[in-house]
Chain A
């Protein structure tokens, strides 16, 4: 079945440094949809960005990600971390069917002053 791997459980950064959160996936489906959801403390998860186009950069709120089907990756990046970026980040995989999106285990990003 489908799977999503987020290798880092916790990423701790100093404010101003670049952010990169890893996401790789496995699916037999040739046209997957990849998502990043963000969940701040005591809030509900919300969509940060999503993509289904190979090799096209998607941006939102200073974050960006590019779906690379050749490497089955959808890493989340930001050039300069802010204190307010501290949150849980989830990568998720969707298909063009009724199966529920598959979520990765999540990465906790902690940005320090």
Chain B
């Protein structure tokens, strides 16, 4: 069983609504990644953090998403104004170090449906 905890498992929103999901990384893992897995099962990297700092993010995330990893609280990813194309499985992963040579440990995901 995954030690990365994601909530909620399912999220249903209307277009234009905010959609917020949370992730608790595996204990002792300072690095958190968010990926979007679309209906074709392709992974799209969104953003990653080391402790509270953003390491890398894509343009889409910068414009339409807000994400944070506050100390002593779950990390979160929020879509400010949901679009139909945002319907996907959002996977959170954590790792021991920020270097991409390290193994990712994934949560079960939050499945977002935008109606």
User: Which of A's residues lie within 8 Å of B, judged by CB?
Assistant: 33, 35, 37, 43-47, 50, 52, 88, 90, 93-103, 105-106, 108
Total interface residues in chain B, CB < 8 Å:
26
Task: Tell me if B43 and A46 are in contact (CB < 8 A).
Answer: no
Q: Is B56 an interface residue (CB 8 A)?
A: yes
**Cβ-based interface call for B99 (8 A):** yes
* B103: interface (CB < 8 Å): yes
Report the separation of the CA atoms of residues A101 and B55 in the bound assembly, to the nearest whole angstrom: 13
Contact count A vs B, C-beta below 8 Å: 66
Instruction: Considering the complex, give the chain B residue whose CB is closest to the CB of A105.
Output: B42
- The distance in angstroms between the C-alpha atoms of A100 and B58, with both chains bound, is 11
In the A-B complex, list the 6 residue pairs whose CB atoms are closest, starting with the nearest. Answer: A94-B100, A103-B43, A44-B106, A33-B101, A98-B98, A100-B45
B69 to chain A, nearest CB (A): 15
Known A44-B4, A97-B99, A103-B35; further 13 A-B contacts with Cβ < 8 A: A44-B91, A44-B108, A50-B103, A94-B100, A95-B101, A96-B99, A98-B50, A98-B98, A98-B99, A100-B33, A100-B45, A102-B45, A103-B42
